[in-house]
A = this chain, B = another copy of it.
Amino acid sequence: MKTPAKKRLGRPAGTGNAEATRERILKAAMQCFAKGGYTQASNKQIAEMAGITSGSLYHYFGSKAELYGAVLLNVLSTLVEAYRSSALKHEHSVDKLCAGLERVIIISSEQPGLMEFASMAHGEVQRYPELNELLSNDHQEFYTFFIELLSEAHQQGELLVPVEAAVHTLIACTTGLSLIRSSLEREEQFANALRAFQSLLRGAFFKQN
């Protein structure tokens, strides 16, 4: 896709609900990228799945890289929001985290392709130069969430390890868990892995001596 003139971006004339169309495109693109990867997913295929013409895709996204970036932002926001909203309903940090992981299990089963997309994004963004700039601040939101949650846990005497080390460890584990989705055949295996991780957080993974 070439970048169209600026005035063509945004809501095209005569479209009833541009926001709904944009959502449909993002959903279709997420599934196509998850299935075929960044290079194999075609604009034609994405437009067809979204029920629009390839031409009108240009009204919404100036390039394939821009579309990929919008999907990535959407996916990361969905995941951070899953943790944030779940955290509000619980008092203890470990309950907040486990509720967030349960929410991710639901999102993963309700939105096919979302975790597969997230799983592959780490590699895709590094592989293609035009996607490199997307790395920027997107992961920062996860860091912010974990820093806030674990600092509070520390203040309340719930955290038994240093805050900084705890942040790095949880970022590493949750990143690793999102990466494995694409190597697992069944949704259930992913859910089971996230539940085993909850047991790890609760000290109920190994029988303690």
Q: Which A residues lie at the B interface, using CB under 8 A?
A: 92-95, 122-123, 126-127, 153, 157-162, 164-166, 168-169, 171-177, 179-180, 184, 189, 192-193, 195-197, 199-209
- The answer to whether A184 touches B196, judged by C-beta atoms less than 8 angstroms apart, is no
- The answer to whether A161 touches B199, judged by C-beta atoms less than 8 angstroms apart, is yes
- The answer to whether A197 touches B180, judged by C-beta atoms less than 8 angstroms apart, is no
How long is the Cα–Cα vector from A39 to B1 in the complex, in angstroms? 29
Identify A176's interface contact among B95, B159, B175, CB under 8 A. Answer: B175
Task: Please name all residues of chain B whose beta carbon is closer than 8 Å to the beta carbon of A200 when the two chains form the complex.
Answer: 169, 173, 200-201
- The answer to whether B168 touches A189, judged by C-beta atoms less than 8 angstroms apart, is yes
SS of A interface (majority): helix
Please give me the residue from chain B that is nearest to A166 by CB atom. B196
How long is the Cα–Cα vector from A200 to B161 in the complex, in angstroms? 9
Q: How far is the CB of A23 from chain B (nearest CB, A)?
A: 30
- The answer to whether A208 touches B202, judged by C-beta atoms less than 8 angstroms apart, is yes
Q: How far is the CB of A127 from chain B (nearest CB, A)?
A: 4
